[in-house]
Amino acid sequence: MKKLVALFSLLLFVFIAACSDDEITPQERFDKYVNLWNDQAFSKMHDMITSNASEKYPAEAFTDRYKKIYNDLGISDLKVTYEKLSDETIEKAMEKGTAQFPFTVKMNSVAGPINFDNKATLIKEGEEDKENWFVKWDPGFIFPQIKDGGDIGLTVTEPERGEILDRNRMPLALNTIVKEIGIQPGKLGDNPEKTKQKIADLLDITVETIDKQLNKDWVGPNMHVPLKKVRKQKKDLLAQLRGMEAITERDKTARDYPLGEAAAHLTGYIGKITAEEMEELDSDAYDANDMIGKRGLELLYEDRLKGSQGVTITAVGENGDETVIAEKPVKDGENVVTTIDAGVQETIYNAYEDDAGTAAAIHPKTGETLALVSAPSFDPNEWVFGISQSKYDQIQNNPKRPLLNRFTATFSPGSAMKPVSAAIGLHNGSIVPGEGIEINGLTWSNSEDWGNYQVRRVSESDGPVDVTDALIRSDNIYFAKKAVEMGSEKFVKGLKQFGFGEELPFAYGVENSSVSSSGTINREVLLADTAYGQGEIQVSALHLALSYTPFLNDGNMLKPVLLADTETSQVWKKDLLSEKQATVIRGALRDVVASPKGTARGAQKANLPIAGKTGTAELKQSGDDNGAENGWFVGYPADKQDILIAMMIENTGDKGGSGYTVNKVTDILQADN
């Protein structure tokens, strides 16, 4: 009997021990809750809170609040950890039916990292056979600051976009106050349609645009309904608008481009971000209402100009008091200071008047870019303030293509290329200073293989032609003969040493200059034509301007500079010719103007000595064509050498050819000095 009693007692102990082992501890329960929290499984978290908390904070409200706050605040990298209890503490907690766990929450948000410590109380609830541990939850689990009520506030401060400035800190793009013109529906008068039509005509918008604004849900009779922003400079327009009773206005900040058309292709403009751009860009850095750079410097330096939003997360008490939870200060965009000279930019653009073309102005001793011009152009302010469809169609259909950025494109340089050909010949020994060759007549053909094709020159020579005379009179035959003599391999090598076929080391993307459509010269006629700037050779205005810098820098070509904080006078291509050879070409470029035989003698009218080279690029499909002509002149003050302009004007054939461009550049150089 004693053995039987002992056996029964042992079985009872094992049974009780087994039951004890199966009982869930508060630590196991909170560990599960923390894992759900880290997974942001809010609905399942609600299943684990006490009955009182569940009654006070129903499942849907609990889940929605968590989701909304976490979404609005951009919560990421959530990590909840807790301090584990000792076995002794757990045993006491199980006896009392309550346990406390210190925990730490770490997360990232739109306002930066957020960390806080708190304590969770777990209570045993339920009937004996269904008892379990539940979290005594309150809003302090979201953020301690709202434990006793209140809500979470999010304040966003927009950054001020950086300005684009010229070398003298004059604005090329700035933020300014403009007038937002609106309409007050209740004051449209007895004939609202007539009033709307008049407003539409003044603002260059449609009545449909006005009606679309007036039909929005929030519009009331006494409200300001915005229609269009207008620059303060348009005083006459503003005066007419202010004379109408229905018109209202508000001050708004907007982007302004003081040079307008003169620098449109350079500065570009900003516009509202598109859905496609949102996908391509960092979605954390932009929202759907942001304005971003669309082209030009605004696009190129978007990351520097845009800045970053300031964000403040606050706990707002029921009495309205605010406590900061996290804060990221606003960071305004950087100002971008360029090497551009606004005065030079505007002077060159205005010189085009109704002509089309492109120009690049540089400081030939430093490589600083002073102007990049494309004409005709458009007013970037119209893109910012809202361009009408009719105005856009007018620009789009203009045969002179004002939307085309010509300073990033390449063109046939004509005889403006001859100084480069001369430098190549001098460097490889094919041309010797002072050594002349006999050329008879106005035409030349090297062999019967050329068929009927002949190279033509403008004027006959009095005797042997050397490199100086050839540059002064712009002798096509001299350069054609010298190129054929040196051969395509040497000539193409020389062009590549001048950067042809290579990306220009310049912040603003410019099309690569090219030797030919294939990158090689495999025909003798093409070689001859290329030497005097015809054939298939293409060059940008900026590259052509840079190609003259070796003549002023002892044979070294400078690297172009666009930003004021960039080191200047950096060498891009070294030792393209010797100092002595550079002197030969420099002297010839002065004589192109100073000599009675010079093709740029029209520049003698200037009150300063000018040097340079003309070029007439014939745009024709064959030698028998009478195609259009583009007139080039690359010129600089021979003494000061502080500015060099490469200017091309389209269709100068009936205006005096390159002489027309010479006059333009001469006037610009005089205005600058």
Is 51 assigned a catalytic role?
Answer: no
Give strand pairing partners of 176: 254
Residue 557 contacts by C-beta under 8 Å, 6 or more apart in sequence? 498, 499, 546, 547, 549, 550, 571, 572, 573, 574, 576
Q: Which helix (H) or strand (E) holds 45?
A: helix 42-46
Tokens representing 628 are 């259009």
Q: Which among 109, 377, 412, 415 is annotated as catalytic?
A: 415
Beta strands at 628-637 and 644-649: parallel, antiparallel or unpaired: antiparallel
Contact 113, 326 (CB under 8 A): yes
Contact 42, 60 (CB under 8 A): no
The CA-based dihedral angle spanning residues 374, 377, 383, 389, taken in that order and rounded to the nearest 10 degrees: -140
Contact 380, 403 (CB under 8 A): no
- The position carrying tokens 């708190």 is 118
Phi, psi of 405 (to 5 degrees): -85, 100
Beta strands at 225-230 and 557-558: parallel, antiparallel or unpaired: unpaired
Contact 122, 90 (CB under 8 A): no
Contact 370, 360 (CB under 8 A): no
Give strand pairing partners of 155: 312
d(CA 531, CA 480): 6
Residue 223 buriedness (CB in 10 A; 0-12 / 13-18 / 19+): middle
**Cα 566 to chain center, whole Å?**
18
Q: Which helix (H) or strand (E) holds 202?
A: helix 192-203
Q: How far apart are the first and last CA of the chain?
A: 127
Given phi > 0 = left and psi -120 to 50 = alpha, else beta, which region is 228? beta
d(CA 314, CA 399): 57
Return the active site residues: 415
